[in-house]
Amino acid sequence: MCRSLATLSAAVFLSACGTGASPPAGDGSQTLRYPQTERSAHVDEYHGVEVADPYRWLENVDERTAAWVRQQNAVAQPYLEAIPARQKIKARLTELWNYERYGIPMQRAGRYFYLRNDGLQDQSVLYVADSLDGEPRVLLDPNELREDATVALGEFVPSPDGRLVAYSLSDGGTDWRTWHVREVQSGRDRPDILRFIKFREASWTADSKGLYYARYPQRADGSGDDSKQMSIWLHRLGTPQSEDVQVFAIADHPTRNPYPEVSDDGRYLVITVYDGSLSTGIYYRRIGPDGTPQGEVVRLIDSFDAQYQFVDVIDDVFYVRTSADTPNGRIVAIPANATSRTAWRDVVTEQDFALVDATLVGGRIIAQYLKDAHSLVRVFDLDGRLAYEVDLPGLGQVEGFGGSARDRRTFFAYGDFLTPTSIWSLDVETGKVTLFREPQFAADTSAYVTEQVFYESKDGTQVPMFITRKRDFRKDGTAPTMLYGYGGFGIAQLPAFSVPVYVWLEMGGVFAVANLRGGGEYGEDWHVAGTKLQKQNVFDDFIAAAEWLIAEKYTSTPKLAVRGRSNGGLLVGAVMTQRPDLFGAALPAVGVLDMLRYHTASANARQWSSDYGLSENEAEFHAQYAYSPVHNVRPGTCYPPTLVTTAESDDRVVPWHSYKFAAALQHAQGCAHPVLLRVETRAGHGAGKPTWMQIEDWADQWAFLVKALGMADVETTG
């Protein structure tokens, strides 16, 4: 499969650059000449402070920017492909990626729906079986939709009667989804098509004849306008989207977005109103047997003072997970007719661990907790009595436990750093756990071990970190080490299996994951401690992790690489500009890197202000300006070898963040270390990326580190 990069012959590019290109850079064995990147005189003023933005023009989606991207790829691609270890790494990635993988089964009316990948299929295939042990058949194979496999299945939702499945497709990695409806028996699509949708699933009416969904408004040119708010619509099967009925829109707040969900009993349209990771509300509207809205919208929770997650409604009582007044979270029961919080009843009180998710299956509440950054699952009766703790396969990560109040069985997935994801079933009544599907991975992971350590951050906070390494590892400071982090939006970094990480271990590497503040490892307090005016805590935690690894002789600066994606890309950009002397290489991927303008890209991006703040607010501007990677690149500084990666179709963290950062680094670089920008052209933020493209991407990143960290005689087998 050819690589989907915007390429240009290196020879043509170099001759076209002439003497007007940026200064050459290299690593002592290969000289690079970067594209000439114009620096404009553009200046913005924030609260009396003038801030230069010389690369503002790279925000434009036009041929000038596209040509610049092609030139950057024409530097990066030959450099990476010339690294001798790359082909060996790619071959090993391909070999180990080739193992069968299953998704979590979903049951509707006796039928079971699940995803399966035979190993090297570019996209997982949707299967259906008429019973749990029945012969499965292919319901939808996304690999047939486009030759390069860059059209991906986004979400799928079977109808309550099991006869239909609503599913979404993403083209080229975009977050935009186009929804279709397929007949399960015939495998044919119905004419229904829904557009202008992002981020949330559609939800079936109880009679399986309608879908509630949230959508953006339509622009005059026929595209969706994600600079505006969503609203909720009802679609009746067999009718065009133009006849859909709007059933709810927010008119009293400029940034909140509503997302619909039909309750398990089919009697309520539950509306979660999102205003950032720390601020949600729950409204509802009663609906009839055919899904038609009845009565007015009721604002059950309208305070927007905490997180509120709808779990289910039983006998007109809403069960809700919340962080209100309880940083670790609790589950409350709220009568549908409640007019004040005095009517709320604690069902599952706050525990010693962070409550991160909850479902209601088989008449019991399944509560997922985090204990020192690994999963713990407890099952409660509806009166709050602890029934049992689920016997998990190990100290790793679980997800799933979906189903209805009528189901006796539920399924979950388990994995850790050295255990490929397996699928398990839970008998909700008895607590019995049974293995359902286990992959056969073509390598022996027993040669490696994961340990958890705690280290002290700058302000004395104890921060946990997972370290995966060879069992016979010697601490002599010479091991190439990858330090990974995220630290934002209450998202915890838990043990998870990764083929690229396993190949890194085979190459002699150490893999470390720091559980930074800003994440959800220890509840809402841990999250808030890494937001807005306290965002620097996240970077201090990551820097302290690097210093600890060096002090404990796991590695040394010339052998230490840092990597992060999205908010983690911001993390890498911030620490490498604050402490360029500390790292041997940096891999910021699809990062949020211009903190003064991140919120201008879309309405969704603006909602990240719950963690980042806004440059419109003076105190938050000063905090952002102090760490914003694009604004803290200093000319003449020696920055570590850096590979910046992004994708042209990323409409979540738009690629101009990476463009600006790479341009600034290339202009400022004060030594021979390379600064490369690699841009994928048929990919987005990461979801739906085909297997072949993932393998190429990881081969590039690991090869870059082989060269940057001086990893001689790389072995790629255990």
Can you tell me the distance from the alpha carbon of 499 to that of 695, in angstroms, rounded to the nearest whole number?
10
Write the CB contacts of 63 (distance below 8 Å, at least 6 apart in sequence): none
Task: Return the half-sphere exposure (C-beta side, CA atoms, 13 A cut-off) of residue 590.
Answer: 19
Given the DSSP bridges, would you call strands 257-262 and 268-274 parallel, antiparallel or unpaired? antiparallel
The pLDDT score that the predictor gives to residue 18 is 31
Can you tell me the distance from the alpha carbon of 145 to that of 131, in angstroms, rounded to the nearest whole number?
28
Can you tell me the distance from the alpha carbon of 609 to that of 625, in angstroms, rounded to the nearest whole number?
14
At residue 582, φ and ψ (nearest 5 deg) are -90, -20
The pLDDT score that the predictor gives to residue 681 is 87
The pLDDT score that the predictor gives to residue 392 is 97
Encode pLDDT of 330-353 as tens digits: 999 999 999 999 999 999 999 999
Contact 289, 490 (CB under 8 A): no
Percent of the chain clearing pLDDT 70 (strictly above): 95
Residue 304 to residues 277, 285, 313, 488, Cα–Cα distance (Å): 11, 19, 21, 19
Q: Is 432 inside any structural domain?
A: no
SS3 content of the chain, % helix, strand, coil (to 5): 25, 35, 45
Q: Is 462 inside any structural domain?
A: yes
Residue 225 to residues 96, 603, 673, 685, Cα–Cα distance (Å): 41, 9, 41, 19
Q: Is 358 inside any structural domain?
A: no
Q: Is 666 inside any structural domain?
A: yes
DSSP code of residue 516: -
| End-to-end Cα separation, the chain, in angstroms | 27
Residue 637 three-state SS? coil
Contact 441, 421 (CB under 8 A): no
Contact 687, 170 (CB under 8 A): yes
The pLDDT score that the predictor gives to residue 7 is 28
Q: Is 251 inside any structural domain?
A: no
The domain of 669 spans 88-95+443-708
Quick one: which of 217, 236, 237 has its CA closest to 227?
A: 217
Encode pLDDT of 614-642 as tens digits: 999 999 999 999 999 999 999 999 999 99
The pLDDT score that the predictor gives to residue 589 is 98
The pLDDT score that the predictor gives to residue 648 is 93
Domain count, the chain: 1
Task: Return the half-sphere exposure (C-beta side, CA atoms, 13 A cut-off) of residue 94.
Answer: 11
Q: Is 604 inside any structural domain?
A: yes
Strand partners, 102: 116
Residue 12 three-state SS? helix
Instruction: Mark the ranges of the chain whose per-residue pLDDT is less than 70.
Output: 1-30, 713, 715-718
633: domain CATH number?
3.40.50.1820
Q: Is 209 inside any structural domain?
A: no
Q: Which helix (H) or strand (E) holds 128?
A: strand 125-129
Catalytic residue numbers read 566, 685
